[in-house]
Amino acid sequence: MSQPLILDGKALAKIIEDSLRPRVETYKRKNGGRVPVLAAILVGGDPASATYVKMKGNACSRIGMDSRKINLPETATTAELLAEIDRCNEDPLVHGILLQHPVPRQIDERAAFDAIAPEKDVDGVTCLGFGRMAMGEPAYGSATPAGIMKIIEHYEIPVEGRRAVVVGRSPILGKPLALMLLNRNATVTICHSRTQNLADVVRQADIVVGAVGRPKFIQGGWIRPGAVVIDAGYHPGGVGDIDLEAAVQRCSAYTPVPGGVGPMTIAMLLSQTMDAAEKRFAR
Ligand code: NAP
């Protein structure tokens, strides 16, 4: 088989960032020097979460947007977090709100996500946004699955009528991605920890998505020859949820780890914050 196509999320993310820079400039010119603002709320001191928030702030700076970092202590209550989200909802200078997942255990994360105003839900985490997206209504998609769909679109991967198998059903990744693929007329199967004969299900797939959170969990031998392989996982040592070394021997296209899905998550967050700012301005 010929070499598989590399679905280069890093390069695509750069194209998206480059396209956002002039939009920020135009926005700034029309708004008396003000730029779009993303409020990033971090609860507690988890180092990985702190790094993600920092990376998102850096990405905002790269394209000329502002980010406002809001740090709540590890001991913060749901009420305190809700009050903070409310302040951001009410603040006309904030266009997008990101609540970094996961939050400490004492906090009702679902209540916190759902407190984000729909027009500022640029990370696509509210139930309302999810429902609208599922119904094909305008909504900001959950950032990682939206990034995966952007990769699929950019590389013109055929989706309609294809069998897509999504391994993982988390609210921020597997579940919304499955619905996005369904909305593009794929025949979608969602797998999870109770799925039986997972290998056989994956073998049916024209498009396989690994969103499991376990390093190299999906074996190369499960991949149908010619399938498109999307690996959303990221683990220490730079491996994903799919055994890519083995999968590349069989697939027709794949997202590398790193440099595939990861950079697209941030690009979508920026892009949706830009959209939110422009929509506010248009009102
Ligand atoms: P998660 O919330 O832990 O969900 C994992 C999913 O995998 C669950 O639905 C779980 O099923 C399923 N699963 C677990 N063990 C399984 C098994 N043995 N067989 C089949 N399914 C199994 O994880 P997540 O937040 O969706 O993240 C998934 C991966 O994506 C992680 O590697 C994470 O690092 C990565 N990720 C990357 C980005 C990015 O920006 N690139 C963003 C988010 C996540 P149940 O529902 O039955 O428990």
Tokens 């909305």 belong to which residue?
Answer: 183
Nearest CA to ligand 1 atom 17: 193
Query: Based on the number of CB atoms within 10 Å of its own CB, is 62 exposed (0-12), middle (13-18) or buried (19 or more)?
Result: middle
- Assess whether 100 carries a catalytic annotation: yes
Domains in the chain with CATH codes:
32-119 (3.40.50.10860), 143-261 (3.40.50.720)
What pLDDT score was predicted for residue 1? 62
What pLDDT score was predicted for residue 281? 76
Residues 69-107: pLDDT tens digits?
999 999 999 999 999 999 999 999 999 999 999 999 999
11, pLDDT greater than 80? yes
Return phi, psi of residue 163, to 5°.
Answer: -90, 115
- What's the whole-model pTM score? 0.97
**Rounded to whole angstroms, how far apart are CA atoms 196 and 133?**
29
Nearest CA to ligand 1 atom 27: 213
Between vectors from CA 164 to CA 267 and to CA 154, what angle results, nearest 5°?
Answer: 35
Residues 154-204: pLDDT tens digits?
999 999 999 999 999 999 999 999 999 999 999 999 999 999 999 999 999
Q: Which helix (H) or strand (E) holds 245?
A: helix 244-247
More confident position, 1 or 121: 121
Q: Which residues line ligand 1 (CB under 6 A)?
A: 144, 167-170, 172-174, 191-195, 198, 211-213, 232-234, 241, 261-262, 265
